[in-house]
Amino acid sequence: PGSHTPEAFYLDDLYIGEADLPTGLAETSRNEGLLLLPNPARDRVRIQRANAQGAATLDVLDASGRLLRQLPFPSGVLQLELNDLPTGVLLLAVTDEQGRRVARVVVER
């Protein structure tokens, strides 16, 4: 019952493009060569660098890229205490002579 009148919309000069959105980390960041156990973690996380040669630096960042802590990473394995860090996703960025590698860890309480 009743009637239906179809409607049509036309667009002219439509533009679809790309935009760069900052993430707080360099686009070249990657997590190859980093092992985090356990993940998710509660009190501490063990970070292991594959093919570790020489000293490195560990940056702990929140999900927006804000630096929370910076630590020396002198060998291939480091235990990171999480008790004073916020819950949620944290980014662990390791910088050494091989470059910068970033991995995510989920902190639960």
* Residue 22: pLDDT over 50: yes
Q: Give the E-state strand segments of 5-63 in sequence order.
A: 34-37, 44-49, 56-62
CA distances to 26, 37, 56, 91 from 22, rounded to whole Å, are 9, 28, 25, 15
Is 16 domain-assigned?
no
CATH number at residue 44: 2.60.40.3080
CB–CB of 89/40 below 8 Å?
Answer: no
Identify the domain containing residue 65 by its residue range. Answer: 34-107
**Global pTM?**
0.71
| pLDDT tens profile 74-100 | 989 999 999 999 999 999 999 998 889
Is 1 domain-assigned?
no
Task: Give me the number of domains the chain comprises.
Answer: 1
Q: Pick the more confident residue, 97 or 4.
A: 97
Section 22-35 average pLDDT: 59
| pLDDT tens profile 45-73 | 999 998 888 899 999 999 999 999 999 99
From CA 38, how far away is CA 30, in angstroms rounded?
19
Phi, then psi, of 32 in degrees rounded to 5: -60, 135
In this structure, the number of other CB atoms found within 10 A of the CB of residue 59 comes to 19
